[in-house]
Amino acid sequence: MKLLSILALTTASLLPAQTIAIVNRTKSVSDTTLKSVMNAVASQVHNEYKAKWGNDATFVFVGKSQTTSSAYWNVYIDDTKGDYHTVTANKPISYCHVKGVSTDYWTNTISHEVLELRSDPFVNQTVVKNNADGSHTTVAVEVCDACEQNDQGYRIGTILLSDFVYPSWFQNNGTGPFDQTRLITAPFQILPGGYLP
């Protein structure tokens, strides 16, 4: 079981660099504001995330009046569509909404979805968690679900970004640190408001 866990994490960390497009399809958020958020998320990926997971991404911004490319992994920011990532026509894609939530909520969510798009783009990476009773649980390699609440995140400048777990979190006998904000103290620990992916 441990070999499967290590293999899954190694595969996730060897993903080639990819172009991720932040696509503004909102009525209320300006291109200038969303570009600033994209720049903060790009900094998070280029620095903190890459340092722990070993992979990076290139970012492009697609404004309200622009058309995006099918070559990109598109992250659509709109008013109401929800917050998730999936695969459509064999292409990773994400959606984040802004209506009816705080700015901190949606900037944290964009960070969350971009990091998960980068670590598990085809929503098919898993590891095996050994339970205390001797049973096993299959856990998706989703890096923000265990620590997704706003008060668990951190800021780059004024922009709130999601906390994320490190590869050590997915290892049954892993040693810390386990996440970027150092709130998690054990492998597979779930912070309040999070869940086991």
Per-residue pLDDT of 123-166, as tens digits, reads 999 999 999 999 999 999 999 999 999 999 999 999 999 999 99
Domains of the chain: 2-170 (3.40.390)
Q: Is the peptide bond before 177 cis (omega within 30 degrees of 0)?
A: yes
In this structure, are residues 93 and 85 in contact, taking their beta carbons and an 8 Å threshold?
Answer: yes
Per-residue pLDDT of 27-62, as tens digits, reads 999 999 999 999 999 999 999 999 999 999 999 999
User: Would you say the pTM of this structure is higher than 0.85?
Assistant: yes
Which residue in this structure is represented by tokens 């992979």? 55
pLDDT class of 17 with cuts at 50, 70, 90:
low
Per-residue pLDDT of 97-117, as tens digits, reads 999 999 999 999 999 999 999
pLDDT class of 11 with cuts at 50, 70, 90:
very low
Q: Give backbone dihedrals phi and psi of 165, rounded to 5 degrees, phi first.
A: -85, 160
CA distance 1 to 158: 42
Non-local CB neighbours of 8 within 8 Å, separated by 6+ positions = 125, 126, 127, 141, 170
